[in-house]
Amino acid sequence: MVHVLLIDDDEDEHLFFKWSIEKIQPVVTLTCVFSGLQALEMFSKKIPDFIFLDINLPGADGFECLNDIRNLHNLKDVPVFMYSTEISETSLQKAIMLGATGCIKKSRSHEVLSGMIRQKLNLSEKEIHSNVLMK
Q: Give the pLDDT confidence of 57-74 residue by residue, as tens digits.
A: 988 899 999 999 999 989
The pLDDT tens digits of the residues spanning 37-47 come to 999 999 989 99
Domains of the chain: 2-134 (3.40.50.2300)
| Widest Cα–Cα separation across the chain | 44
pTM for this structure?
0.86
CA 14 to chain centroid, in Å, comes to: 11
Spatial separation of the C-alpha atoms in residues 78 and 69, rounded to whole Å = 9
Please state whether 19 falls in left (phi above 0), alpha (psi between -120 and 50) or beta.
Answer: alpha
